[in-house]
Amino acid sequence: MTKRLLLAAVAALALPAPALAQVMDAAQLRDAALKDDLAYEITEGLTTEVGPRLAGTEAEARARAWAVKKLNALGFKNVRVEPFRMPVWVRGEETAEIVAPFPQKLYLTALGNSGATAAAGMTAEVVYFPTLAALQAAPDGSLRGKIAFVSHAMMPTQDGSSYGYFGAARRSGPAIASRKGAAAMLIRSIGTDYHRNPHAGGTNFPDGVKPIPAAALSIPDAEQLERVLKRGSPVRIKLTLTPRQTGMKESGNVIAEVPGSDPAAGIVLIGGHLDSWDLGTGAIDDATGVAITTAAAKRIMDAGTPRRTIRVVWFGAEEVGVFGGRAYGEAHATDNHVAAAESDFGADRIWRFEINLPEGAKAVGDRLAAALAPLGISRGTSKAGDGADVGPIMARGVAAIDLNQSGLDYFNLHHTPDDTLDKVDPAKLRQNVAAWTTMLAIVADAPEAIGRVTPAR
Amino acid sequence: MTKRLLLAAVAALALPAPALAQVMDAAQLRDAALKDDLAYEITEGLTTEVGPRLAGTEAEARARAWAVKKLNALGFKNVRVEPFRMPVWVRGEETAEIVAPFPQKLYLTALGNSGATAAAGMTAEVVYFPTLAALQAAPDGSLRGKIAFVSHAMMPTQDGSSYGYFGAARRSGPAIASRKGAAAMLIRSIGTDYHRNPHAGGTNFPDGVKPIPAAALSIPDAEQLERVLKRGSPVRIKLTLTPRQTGMKESGNVIAEVPGSDPAAGIVLIGGHLDSWDLGTGAIDDATGVAITTAAAKRIMDAGTPRRTIRVVWFGAEEVGVFGGRAYGEAHATDNHVAAAESDFGADRIWRFEINLPEGAKAVGDRLAAALAPLGISRGTSKAGDGADVGPIMARGVAAIDLNQSGLDYFNLHHTPDDTLDKVDPAKLRQNVAAWTTMLAIVADAPEAIGRVTPAR
């Protein structure tokens, strides 16, 4: 080896200067976090002692009280609730049966913001559409008095990207059907399982569009209805859905902090959402999100004082319209956030990370890559910016880090009665805590300034 | 090789004489049956065009009409319904919620023959028992006004034998609790899945024992209730169950035949049950049972005329008390049955066969072993005698053949809303049809006389 090559090799081995200036040992914290029990403890506690916690209900209020008590007990600082008000829709009765030609019950659940049938139900003929595009192509008025049925079969993807495409049937389908005169709308659940558990989720009726009764059939039921329709006889369904809008109610964000040593270095914002849909106990959506981020912040707190303040937010009212994220975004628009990250995609292993960091903090991304690799996490090439609740903050040009959980199984459980504690794998949860702890150790303690970025969206 | 050894080897290779006398080529029929589509077609048709078919209801009557039409269309002879009457219990409302200390809804379903609460429900404290033995050990009167909760966790077994042990909590638990003064009984579902689908099933209240409200929690709910109880505060549940006994109604067995060439050679009795529990569409319990046995009989019919008559019975009212099997046993006690076999354990692969054949028909068992081995089916050493519906006939000393399906996954679906068509694997269904076709080719066409045996039970 020539002397020049030898020197180059030595230079390559040397740690870059900013890394040497980090106080926290990310690798050591990472490895210790693989033994974490706190995230599971939080998940178990919240799902057991509160259970389902629909936004704006007394159950969500109990969840906030539980959160405040837990975060104080863990030693976080500045634990507080920031209340806000939001419209609350609640489920009523929900039953359906094929009346003709083959009488049988169907399992379904009303979509959030669904209109109601008469208390005694309604009976109408079903018109089948294989996709949302086919519904969109139906002539205006052609659905008058009918039940539109869109049975678009979702396929899972590791990065969850298929939710945007397939989820449109739920988000927009009922309003499209209403505009065309439909009396009601049924969709195949936006999900990938084969259980008799329908997937809840919100739909939207823009101003001036009549909110018709709208519900999701479980996937076995949607396929059953397709088979019945394929026999060729007119299919009539009796549908009873009695949800209602109950007006404006109180929700709130629960906030806790690990104060940093350098107030001027800004705030690293992390969290998940405290509310859940009402059918399950919201274990993977999103008790694990608040649990993972809180457990990671607690590990940093116990290891010393990071340079930057870590702010953990358990957002309220995410599922029904990101009311908590928007309230936070308005209340804290001028806070000195320097980075944001959210955990709201279940409890499966993190497989990839992505960043949106300014050029001056490029080395932070490199240190993340090196420290996360042993957890099986590779670096993606897209610009980070995930997270509904931290979205309003990221939209202001705050740097973003995405720790992407695998979505291959997520839509087996998403918004169903089956989202319960038994679905949480403690080993995978620990991998998540280790990744978040690593990320916080590097980002909150980075000696570099972390300035503004162009947001991903 | 000596001449003596050579002769012995040739003798060993030669087929035994009775095999040569069989007209039907079991191996050829077996291999052709691995392409069977009829069993799936029957399963799909019955579960789609009828769906759930609780014994004694109009849904089961529609199922009989469907069966008669199908069996005639397939070319079976002597297709008929043999009606009988039986008591009918029907489900009402069924809801439950933990009222204190952590309010939340629980998912459950009433057990067959459950008593009813008041229409407005009842609220009482829960007393926990980890096993049925623990409930049995509770002092008389100690449960007065309480809800007894037995949360015995079932483990799966390939041969299904664990159902007897764990199922006792469902079959006998409520009567035991009633005798001790309990106001109601909850059990952990007798099942092995982790979905929010409770497992239905019958319970028994002997004469003189008050039928208390009795229900099965889904397994996630049973574990949730256990976690809540472990917190140590008194747990109160509001329970509303409004099932009712509706009196004696008509059910019936549907019978079809493949007439044999030798009436004196007797009848081979096969079948499954037509009725199902009401929560699912009875796909694996037991549409596949009637479908497999019917498809196999149809293959024999299409291949020629077997020596013996094959009688296929789609039994009514099995789930709620084997009323169809008992009615058949009484009506056909003196028919010349020579062998009986039943398919009522799902649609998974057959892994083993067992026999109870008289000494004179020992070679039939050997031919079965040779012909079933290529399907991955090995010979068991116990005396055959499975099948609730054919039980009364087997009890008379009729020879028995068991074709055992794997039970490792069966109790994930058994008696739940999840027992739907999508759970049926067409490839496994074909393996079943191939095994049954093989069995029928050998047994129905056996030249040996098949006399009486000592029943297994």
Of A382, A364, A380, A367, nearest in space to A451 by CA:
A364
Decide if A422 and B194 are in contact by the 8 Å CB cutoff: yes
Residues A44-52: what's their mean pLDDT?
98
User: In chain A, which residues have their Cβ closer than 8 Å to the Cβ of B197?
Assistant: 195-197
A452 CB contacts (<8 Å, ≥6 apart)? A358, A397, A398, A399
Considering only the beta carbons, identify the residue of A47, A195, A224 that sits closest to B48: A224
Residue A20: its pLDDT value, please? Answer: 45
Considering only the beta carbons, identify the residue of A223, A280, A281 that sits closest to B422: A223
For chains A and B, what is the number of CB pairs under 8 angstroms? 98
Test the B interface: residue of A418, A423, A425 with most B CBs within 10 Å: A418
Is the pLDDT at A384 greater than 80, yes or no? Answer: yes
Residue B20: its pLDDT value, please? Answer: 45
> How many CB atoms sit inside 10 A of residue B25's CB?
15
Give this complex's ipTM: 0.93
Contact of A442 with A19, CB cutoff 8 Å: no
Residue A21: its pLDDT value, please? Answer: 64
Is the pLDDT at A212 greater than 70, yes or no? Answer: yes
Residue A22: its pLDDT value, please? Answer: 74
Per residue in A55-108, pLDDT (tens digit) is 999 999 999 999 999 999 999 999 999 999 999 999 999 999 999 999 999 999
Token pair 């794998």 is at which residue? Answer: A425
Residue B21: its pLDDT value, please? Answer: 65
Q: Measured between alpha carbons, how far is B391 from B284 in angstroms, rounded to an integer? A: 20
Question: Token digits for A282?
Answer: 């919201």
10 Å CB burial of residue A369 (0-12, 13-18, 19+) is middle
Neighbouring-strand partners of residue B181: none
Per-residue pLDDT of chain B (457 residues; tens, 9 = 90+): 455 544 444 444 444 444 446 788 999 999 999 999 999 999 999 999 999 999 999 999 999 999 999 999 999 999 999 999 999 999 999 999 999 999 999 999 999 999 999 999 999 999 999 999 999 999 998 999 999 999 999 999 999 999 999 999 999 999 999 999 999 999 999 999 999 999 999 999 999 999 999 999 999 999 999 999 999 999 999 999 999 999 999 999 999 999 999 999 999 999 999 999 999 999 999 999 999 999 999 999 999 999 999 999 999 999 999 999 999 999 999 999 999 999 999 999 999 999 999 999 999 999 999 999 999 999 999 999 999 999 999 999 999 999 999 999 999 999 999 999 999 999 999 999 999 999 999 999 999 999 999 999 8
Is the pLDDT at A261 greater than 70, yes or no? Answer: yes
Give the CA distances from residue A395 to residues A161, A213, A233, A250, A267, in Å, rounded to whole numbers and listed in that order.
Answer: 20, 34, 52, 26, 16
> How many CB atoms sit inside 10 A of residue A142's CB?
12
Considering only the beta carbons, identify the residue of B195, B280, B421 that sits closest to A197: B195
DSSP one-letter string for A170-228? HHTHHHHHHHTT-SEEEEE-SS---SS-----B----TTS----EEEE-HHHHHHHHHH
Q: How do the residues of chain B divide into helix, strand and coil, expressed in percent and rounded to 5?
A: 35, 25, 40
Q: Where are the beta strands (DSSP E) in B111-166?
A: 122-129, 147-150
Question: Token digits for A99?
Answer: 């009346």
Is the pLDDT at A11 greater than 50, yes or no? Answer: no
β-pairing, A236-241 vs A94-100, is antiparallel
Token pair 């990320």 is at which residue? Answer: A439
Test the B interface: residue of A195, A228, A235, A415 with most B CBs within 10 Å: A195
Instruction: For residue B195, report the phi and psi dihedrals to the nearest 5 degrees.
Output: -115, 165
Test the B interface: residue of A419, A420, A424 with most B CBs within 10 Å: A420
Q: Measured between alpha carbons, how far is B63 from B334 in angstroms, rounded to an integer? A: 28
Q: How many Å from the N-terminal Cα to the C-terminal Cα in chain A?
A: 49
Handedness of CA B118, B121, B124, B127 (dihedral sign): positive
Considering only the beta carbons, identify the residue of B101, B197, B220 that sits closest to A196: B197
Residue B8: its pLDDT value, please? Answer: 46
Token pair 């089948």 is at which residue? Answer: A128
Decide if A281 and B102 are in contact by the 8 Å CB cutoff: no
A418 CB contacts (<8 Å, ≥6 apart)? A193, A195, A197, A280, A412, B194, B195, B196, B220
Is the pLDDT at A360 greater than 70, yes or no? Answer: yes
Q: What is the pTM of this model?
A: 0.93
Q: How far is CA A234 from the centre of its chain?
A: 39
Residue B22: its pLDDT value, please? Answer: 74
Instruction: For residue A268, report the phi and psi dihedrals to the nearest 5 degrees.
Output: -100, 115
